[in-house]
């Protein structure tokens, strides 16, 4: 009887160790996936929003936009990239850099996991986009980004943030240009 109890205790202990090891391994794999996804998210936001003013003219050229898009494309799903490219989203930072005649730099960005599965990760984020040295020369970013795993690589599939703040800088310049020409 003592041998049976001893065997049951040993088997229970071994099963417990195996279960703990499996769940730890799954946790490590999930954390590794999350870490990789966050690296892609950071790289994407920097590529999207950082820019220097064009040094060749007073306009943003198609070549400038094409160079920026070439850096962004590998970080996104095909569908998301095509939608953003068609709406000229990736040209916005270049235009603001020209308008402000200053470099745009993401100086702070922090991501928090909202939901994580093996195939998708949703992150919320806050950050700061600077375009000068004074207190007023910055925008605060607040958004939600979704990444999908494609061929074991994380790619941005959606990014919703307060982009209207960036658009307002561009629109103000357009309105100023129109009022000056009247």
Write a three-state SS string for the chain. Answer: CHHHHHHHHHHHHHHHHHHHHHHHHHHHHHHHHHHHHHHHHHHHHHHHHCECCCCCCCCCCHHHHHHHHHHHHHHECHHHHHHHHHCCHHHHHHHHHHHHCCCEEEEEEEEEEEEECCCEEEEEEEEEEECCCCCCCEEEEEEEEEEEEECCEEEEEEEEECCHHHHHHHHHHHHHHHHHHC
Higher pLDDT, 27 or 109: 109
pLDDT bin (cut points 50, 70, 90) of residue 27 is very low
Instruction: State the pTM of this model.
Output: 0.79
Instruction: Kindly tell me if the per-residue pLDDT of 102 is higher than 50.
Output: yes
Mean pLDDT of the chain: 84
Average pLDDT score over residue span 70-87: 96
Q: What is the rounded distance in angstroms from the CA atom of residue 109 to the CA atom of residue 127?
A: 4
Lowest mean pLDDT: which of 11-15, 47-51, 115-119? Answer: 11-15
Both structure tokens of 153: 């690589």
Q: At what angle do helices 62-72 and 92-100 cross, to 10 degrees?
A: 130
Q: For residue 2, name the pLDDT band (cuts at 50, 70, 90).
A: low
Q: For residue 89, how many C-alpha atoms fall within 13 Å in the half-sphere facing its CB?
A: 22
Q: 142 with 161: CB under 8 angstroms?
A: yes
């Amino acid at each position: 009887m003592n041998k049976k109890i001893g065997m049951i205790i040993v088997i229970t202990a071994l099963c417990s160790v195996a279960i703990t090891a499996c769940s730890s391994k799954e946790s490590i794999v999930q954390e590794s996936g999350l870490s990789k996804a966050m690296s892609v998210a950071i790289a994407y936001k920097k590529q999207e929003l950082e820019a220097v003013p064009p040094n060749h003219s007073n306009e943003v050229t198609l070549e400038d936009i094409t160079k920026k898009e070439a850096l962004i494309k590998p970080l996104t799903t095909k569908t998301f990239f095509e939608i953003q490219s068609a709406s000229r989203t990736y040209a916005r930072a270049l235009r603001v850099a020209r308008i402000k005649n200053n470099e745009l730099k993401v100086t702070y960005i922090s991501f928090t996991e909202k939901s994580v599965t093996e195939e998708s990760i949703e992150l919320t984020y806050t950050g700061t986009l600077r375009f000068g040295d004074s207190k007023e020369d910055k925008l605060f970013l607040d958004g939600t980004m979704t990444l999908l795993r494609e061929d074991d690589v994380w790619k941005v599939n959606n990014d919703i943030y307060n982009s209207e703040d960036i658009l307002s800088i561009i629109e103000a310049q357009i309105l100023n240009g129109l009022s000056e020409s009247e």
